Amino acid sequence: MCELFGISSSRPVTAKGMLREFRLRGGLTADNPDGWGLARWENGVFHLDKEPLPAHQSALFANLCETTRSNLIIAHVRKAKFPPVNTLNNTHPFQRACCGRRWVFAHNGLVPDIVEMEQANDSPICLPTGETDSEYAFCHLLSHIAQHFHRSPAGNTAASFASLAMASELIASHGKFNFLMSDGEYLIAYGHDRLHYLEQNGTANPDGTPADSTMIATEPLHGNGSWMLFEPGELRIYRLGEMAGRILTLGHPGGRS
């Protein structure tokens, strides 16, 4: 049911091995054959490539595995469920503008009720171009972010994250909701029931410079270090490879605020 992969790092890094392995999970080593996408932050903007075909068959994805160098990456391989149609508009990650920033979002899980909930929104911040519950959930989260921003344009980061955690918990109560999201500065990860992280300090780049980095994946990938499982309903926020916030939402076993 789809898989996620993300990186937040203090410096631009390559992740050839991890990306190669993740690419193969798009229809070869795992049952996620219905599209892939890769967003990476470069020179102050997100660059996004995606195709509605198996990742392991994509020459473009294979090339990106070798050439991508960034301090912030979000990737996704899709198992089409809602709807069971693999079109470009239904392929993650999705990208939208909100509050003067460009946001990207990718989801694992199933929350079909969010479609009706967001369609009832009198002031939507965006309208989906595809049909997925994931894109509707993305627009729903952006509406919460926009409401907080307009109430406090000076920006209260802690309050923003708390509001996002509450909205994430609400959506998760209607199904399964794991996601990666970013505005180019923060990598935001919500693990409702299936997400792992790997924090590494001083990892050497190919040029020998050290970098603090965190990788997040639906299922652990090979490499040095031990992957850790998210707490149920846990929101983790990273900036330049280091944790900037952590919230355990209510309503899930083991969760607390």
d(CA 142, CA 189): 15
Whole-Å CA distances, 31 to 75, 79, 227: 16, 7, 22
Question: Known catalytic residue: 2?
Answer: yes
Query: How deeply is 206 buried, as exposed, middle or buried, from its count of CB atoms within 10 A (0-12, 13-18, 19+)?
Result: exposed
Token readout for 20 is: 């190669």
Q: Which residue is catalytic, options 2, 98, 126, 139?
A: 2
Place of tokens 């209510």: 250
Chain-centre distance of CA 15, in angstroms? 17
Q: Is the dihedral of CA 115, 3, 54, 58 positive or negative?
A: positive
d(CA 64, CA 24): 13
Annotated catalytic residues are 2
